[in-house]
Amino acid sequence: MATVTRKTYCLLAFIFSAFVIILLPRFGNFSANASKEISQPTMSDLPIQQSDVITFTNFLPIVFKAPAAPSVNVLSSSAYDNGYGSLYIVGEVINNTANNVTFVRVTATLCNSDGDIIRADYSYVLIDVLAPGQKAPFRIFFYDYPQEYANYQLSVTYSTTTQPAKSSLPILSSNAWTSGYGTLYTVGEVQNNTSNNIDFVKVIATYYNVAGIVTNVDYTYTEMDVLGPGQKGPFKIYADDRPYDYYTLSVDYDFTTESPPSGTSIINLDTWTEFGSTQFTGELQNNSGSNIEYVKVVATFYDNAGTVVDVDYTYLRIEILGSGQRGCFKLYATDRSYNSYTLANDFSATTDPLPSLEVLSITPSGNLHLAGQIRNNHTTRTYNFVKAVGTLYDGTGKVINCEDSYTSPSEIGPGGTAPYDINFYSHTSGWASYSVVATD
C-alpha cells in the first residue's frame, strides 16, 4: 500500500509541476515576456539571458525566462524637471536585432497614480542608423506636464534598413565642467578619419550615474560645417547641470561632396586679459576669390598635455566680406586655464553683392568714440539695420579693439544718409590709426 501511495504521490507531483510550468508564464505577475516598457527609474528591458531565473519561496518549480525576441530595447532611462516646469525623459536604447535599423522612435506615455495615460510624446534616437549591438541615446521633452504625473512608460518602434551604419570617429580629447549657473559644459575635438568629406558632424554626450543609468543627454555640431579627411572639429555642448558620474561621446555625420572652405587667413591678431578672461581681436583676410558670409572664427584651447579645455567662437562684425577685403572680429574667449590655442575659421561662399553703402566721414573724440555719417548709394534699394564697424590699430598694425554701432535711424533709403557713433568702452590705449566699414 505504501508503494502505491508513493507512486501516486510522485505522479500527482509531476502532473502539478507540468501544470505550473505551462500556466505560470500566463499570469501577469510572473510574465516571462520581454516588455519594451519601463517605469521610472528602473532598468528593465535589459537583454534577457538564458541564465536568468526566478525562484519562489513556496517551493514551486524554477521558471526560466524565455529569451527576448530580437528588438531594439531600452537599456535605462530617467526623468527630471528642468526647474522651469518642463519634463525631460532621457535614456539609451540598444539594437538587439541582427540587422541595421533606422527611424528608431521612443514614445513616452505619462501616467497618473491610477495608471491612466495623461500625456504622450516621442523622439527619435540621436544616431540615424544603428548596427547590431550599437547603442544610441534619446531625449524626450514635455514643454509642460500635468501635476498628477506619477510615472512614465516607454515603447520603441523602428525600421530595418540596408543603409550602412557610420564608422566611429575618434574623439581626440574632451573635458567637462559646470558653470555654477545651472550649465554643464562638455568640450572636445573630433577627427575625420574617413577618406571623404563629411558634414553635419553631430557629437552626442550621454551622462550616467554610478549604476549606469542615463541621467542626461545632449548634443551639438562641430564648429566647422565640413571636415575634410584628417581634419579636426572642435565642439562645445551646453547641457543642464544634472548629477552624473561619467559620460560617453558618440558621433554621427553625413558624407558630402562639398569641400571645406579655404582661402582666408587671420591677420593682425592681438590678445589681452579683461574681466578675468582672454580677449582676441584681429582681422580675417578674404583671399577666396568670392564674396563670403557667416564668417566664424573658432578658438580651441589646450592644456599642457594637449587636452581640450575650452572652445569658443565669434562671427565677423561685417555680414558679407568681399574678395580681398578684411573684416575685424572680437572674441571673448575663455576664463579657463590653458597652455596653448589654435584659431580656425568657417564661412559660406555667396553670390550676394556687397551693400552700396559709403562711409562719408570719421571723427575720433574722447576716450574713445568714432563718429560720422553713412550714405546709401543704391538707386532703388533701402538698407535696414545699417551698421558701422570700427577697428583700432596700434603702430605695428595689430588690432587693438573692434566695436560696432547702428546708424540712427538704422534704415537708410536710396540716396539717404544717417549718422553713427561707435563707442569703444575699453582697451583703447596706444591706438595709432583706425578704420570704419559700413554693413547691413
Question: What are the pLDDT digits (tens) for 156-207?
Answer: 999 999 999 999 999 999 999 998 788 999 999 999 999 999 999 999 999 9
Domains in the chain, please, with CATH?
2-64 (no CATH), 171-255 (2.60.40.10), 264-349 (2.60.40.3230), 357-439 (2.60.40.10)
How many other C-beta atoms can be found within 10 angstroms of the C-beta atom of residue 154? 24
Output the pLDDT for position 48.
31
Beta strands 357-365 and 369-376: pairing type?
antiparallel
Smallest Cα–Cα separation from 440: which of 326, 352, 323, 349?
Answer: 352
Measuring CA to CA, how many Å separate 181 from each of 185, 254, 289, 324? 11, 34, 44, 43
Output the pLDDT for position 159.
97
Listed in sequence order, the DSSP H helices in 51-164 are none
* Alpha-carbon torsion (42, 48, 50, 56), positive or negative: positive
Check whether 43 has a pLDDT greater than 80: no
Measuring CA to CA, how many Å separate 317 from each of 23, 383, 418? 74, 17, 19
How many other C-beta atoms can be found within 10 angstroms of the C-beta atom of residue 298? 20
Mean pLDDT of the 249-257 span: 97
Q: Of 18-32, 79-93, 398-412, give the lowest mean pLDDT range.
A: 18-32
Output the pLDDT for position 316.
96
Output the pLDDT for position 144.
86
Check whether 357 has a pLDDT greater than 60: yes
* Alpha-carbon torsion (22, 26, 30, 32), positive or negative: positive
Output the pLDDT for position 68.
55
Mean pLDDT of the 86-115 span: 96
Smallest Cα–Cα separation from 349: which of 227, 284, 259, 283?
Answer: 259
Output the pLDDT for position 220.
98
Check whether 393 has a pLDDT greater than 80: yes
Q: What cell numbers appear for 52 in the block?
A: 536568468
Q: CA–CA separation, 301 vs 311, rounded Å? A: 6
Mean pLDDT of the 275-279 span: 84
Residue 216 one-letter amino acid: N
